Amino acid sequence: MAPAEPLLRVEDLRVSFATEEGVVQAVDGVSFTVDPGEVLAIVGESGSGKSVSVMTLMGLTRGPNARFDGHAMFGGRDLVSAPDSELQKVRGNQIAMVFQDPMSSLDPVYRIGDQIVEQIRAHEHGISKAQALDRAVDLMERVGVPRARERIRSYPHEFSGGMRQRVMIAMALSNSPQLLIADEPTTALDVTIQAQILDELRQLRSETGAGIILVTHDLGVVADIADRIVVMYAGRVVEQGTLDEIFYDPQHPYTWGLLGSITRIDRDRSERLPAIPGLPPSLLAPPSGCHFRTRCPHAFERCTEVPELISRLPEAPEHLDRCWLEVEAKRSLRQLGDQIGLATGETVIS
C-alpha cells in the first residue's frame, strides 16, 4: 500500500484534568491513525481513557480544568489546538459522532425530524427547510427506520432504543462525514438490534468510504467489524495491530488477559474463568513504569520503567506493544496461560 496521508493522525495526545484530589492523567501519550474506509476499534475498560481520547478529537472535553498536549491532524487542521469556532465547522460536518445512550443524546422536546433538519442546516446554509426535511426522510430510510415520512414527526420517547440509535446515525450521516466516531454505539441495545446496527455501520463504510472509530469494551463487536485495534489501559495504548494480530498473537499480557476472561457462546462451561486479578489503577496516582505491572502475573524488575510503544516483531512492523518481555518468552507464557488459565482462582482483592 502506498503511504498516503491517513484521514486522521493522532500524535502523542495527552489530556489531564485538574480535580480536587489532584491531576488525573486521563490520556497519556496516545497515537494512532485512521484511514478512509477503515474501522479502527479502541478497546479498554472503563477509565482506560478511550472515550476521553475520542471526545477530545471533537473538542468535547474542553474546559477550564482540562489541559491538552499533542496533535490530532485532520484535513490539515490540528483538532487539539484549533479554536472553538473552527472546530464547530468540522464537528457534525466532516466528523460526526454517535453516542452510547441515544435517549440522552436526543432532545426530548423536539420532533426527530426537526433535530435532523437543524443539523443539516447548521452546516449547509443554502438549503430550504422543506429540502432539508426531504433529506432527513431519505436519511432515516437509509438507516432502516420504517415509515420514515410519518415517523419524522415523532418525538424521541416514541421511538425504541434501537430506532433512536438509528436516528443518531442518520443525524451523524446528514452531512456525509469523512470520519464517524461511534462511542459504544450498541452497548445499550439488545443483541438482535445490535446486529442490525452493526450491519448498518458496515454498509455505511462500504457506501461512503468514511473512516470509523469504534470505541467499545465488547470484543465480540470488535471481532465482527474492526480492521485494526488499539488496546488502551489506564490512559495509554498498550497494544495496537490488525484484527488478526491482536486476536491470534496478542503481545501484551493485558490483552491476552482480556481475551482470556471473556465468556463465549461457543465455549462449554469450564470450571473457572481465567480472570485478571485486581483492579485498574487510579489515574490520580498510577503505578510508575508500566501501568499494568501491579496486576500483571509476569511483571519483573524492568517493568518499573515505561516501555515504549514499538514493534517488537520483525514480521509485523505495524503491530506495536508496550511490554518489556521478550517475544519468545511471551509466546510460551501465553501458551502456558491457555492451558492452566491465567491466574486461576486468585481473585482476592486487597
Partner 1 sequence: MSAQGELQGRADAPANGVPLLEVNHLRVYFPVKAGLLIDRKVGQVHAVDDVTFQLSERETLGIVGESGCGKTTLIRSLARLVDATDGAIRFRGDDITKAGRQKLQPVRRDVQMVFQDPQASLNPRKRVGQILATPLRLGGTRRREIESRSRELLQQVGLSPEHLNRFPHEFSGGQRQRIGVARALALNPKLILLDEPVSALDVSIQAQVINLLDELQDDLGLTYVFVAHDLSVVRHVSDRIVVMYLGKLMEVSPADELYSKPIHPYTSALLGAIPIPDPRENRARERPIVSGEPPNPINPPSGCRFHTRCPRATEICKRVEPQLTTYAGGHMAACHHPQNVTDEEIRAATRSEASPLSSGSDAPGAEERSLGQVRG
Residue numbers at the binding site for partner 1 (CB under 8 A): 45-46, 160-163, 190-196, 198-199, 217-225, 243-244, 247-248, 257-259, 261-277, 279, 345, 347-350
Residue 157 cell numbers, joined: 420517547
Cβ contacts of 283-286, under 8 Å, gap ≥ 24: 283/24, 283/25, 283/26, 283/47, 283/49, 283/234, 283/235, 284/19, 284/21, 284/22, 284/23, 284/24, 285/22, 286/25, 286/234, 286/235
Cβ proximity to partner 1: between 25 and 165 the closer is 165
Instruction: Using the minimum distance from each CB to partner 1, give the nearer residue, 158 or 326.
Output: 158
Minimal CA–CA distance to 253: which of 189, 209, 296? 296
Distance CA 238, CA 31 (A): 11
Collapse the DSSP code of 343 into the 3-class scheme (helix H, G, I; strand E, B; otherwise coil) and give the result: coil
The grid cell for 48 is 482506560
The smaller minimum CB distance to partner 1, of residues 271 and 301, is found at 271
Residue 48: CB minimum distance to partner 1, A: 9
* Beta carbon of residue 296, minimum distance to partner 1 (angstroms, whole number): 12
Q: CB of 303: closest distance to partner 1 in angstroms? A: 19
Cβ-based neighbours of 96, under 8 Å, separated by 6 or more = 171, 172, 173, 174, 175, 177, 179, 180, 181
Nearer to partner 1, 68 or 292 (CB): 292
Q: Indicate the residue among 150 and 271 with the shorter CB distance to partner 1.
A: 271
* Shortest Å, Cβ 47 to partner 1: 9
DSSP letter, residue 308: P
CB of 21 to partner 1, least distance (A): 13
